[in-house]
Amino acid sequence: MKKVPCLLPVLPVLLLLLLLMLLGLPAPSVLGETTEITVVRGNGSYPPNEIMENGKLSGVHVDLVEAAARTLNVTVHFRSYPWKRALSMVRQGTADAVTYAARTPEREAYAVFLNGNILSRTTFAFFVLSQKAHEIRYLGNLEDLRDFRIGTVLGYTYPDAFNRADFLQKDMGALSDEVLLKKLLHNRFDMAIGDQAIMRYLLHRMKCPEKVTFLKPNFTPIPSYIAFSRAAGREKLAERFARALTALRKAGDVEKIRTRYGLPGQF
């Protein structure tokens, strides 16, 4: 007599999957879902969003990504690299995602940017040595800066108006925000452009906030995303993260995280 295969061992799994489908919840790893991902970032400290102190990473971005990942049963491994290398890893698919990424057509070719995956907004501003501030007349017209050499960080994306201003003298020799600031303090260029919050933090840590003056007006804030690698096949994961982060916003958890770091609840 031919034996009938026993289905009892798989019935609990099938029932679990059916229940998850009915509830609209993510299926566990038996469905092949990603349970561990590598998220890369720049190798600096970018408070209050990404703070590296004594080898420990914290900050708004870190807490948001980890909170969303927990709801998806995903474990996140953060890795810090020079910014251009971090982007290259996402492009090649050796990393699953990158944080603090601004959206550009070039990056969209190899990474998925979804509005639900915005982690913060960056406010860029020009800054100069206070002793030279009187030499620069700037009221928002980039043409007024034509004669000045402006320091930038290699691989960073800046506001569109600045990116399109080919007539400006842009020095791209700095590899990090801290190096950029130190070069300005040593008169390696006339002025620089950077994230105002990060620069103020670095000046405070270096105990010389009075040495630098920020020019007005600031640029319009730019959204910073967690962007997912196309080469690594993380398009669906990007969508799941966007839904998870949206749910956290609606539940008030994003506001709580931002408030914990002294930021306004909304951004």
DSSP of 208-246, one letter per residue?
-GGGEEE-SSPPPPEEEEEEEETTTT-HHHHHHHHHHHH
DSSP 43: S
- What pLDDT score does 228 carry? 98
Q: Is 100 left (phi over 0), alpha (psi -120 to 50) or beta?
A: left
**Would you state the pLDDT for residue 7?**
46
Quote the CA–CA distance of 170 and 156 in Å, as a whole number. Answer: 12
**Res 8: pLDDT:** 47
Nearest to 131 by CA among 217, 211, 203: 211
DSSP state letter for 95 = S
Token pair recorded at residue 201: 């933090």
The two tokens of residue 20 are: 């998850």
| pLDDT mean by block of 10 residues, the chain; 267 residues | 48 52 48 79 92 94 98 98 96 98 96 98 96 96 98 94 97 94 97 94 90 97 97 98 98 94 77
What is the predicted pLDDT for the residue at 264? 79
- Answer for the pair 209, 72: CB distance below 8 angstroms, yes or no: no
Domains recognised in the chain with CATH numbers: 34-121+222-260 (3.40.190.10), 124-214 (3.40.190.10)
- Residue 261 has what pLDDT? 86
d(CA 116, CA 7): 41
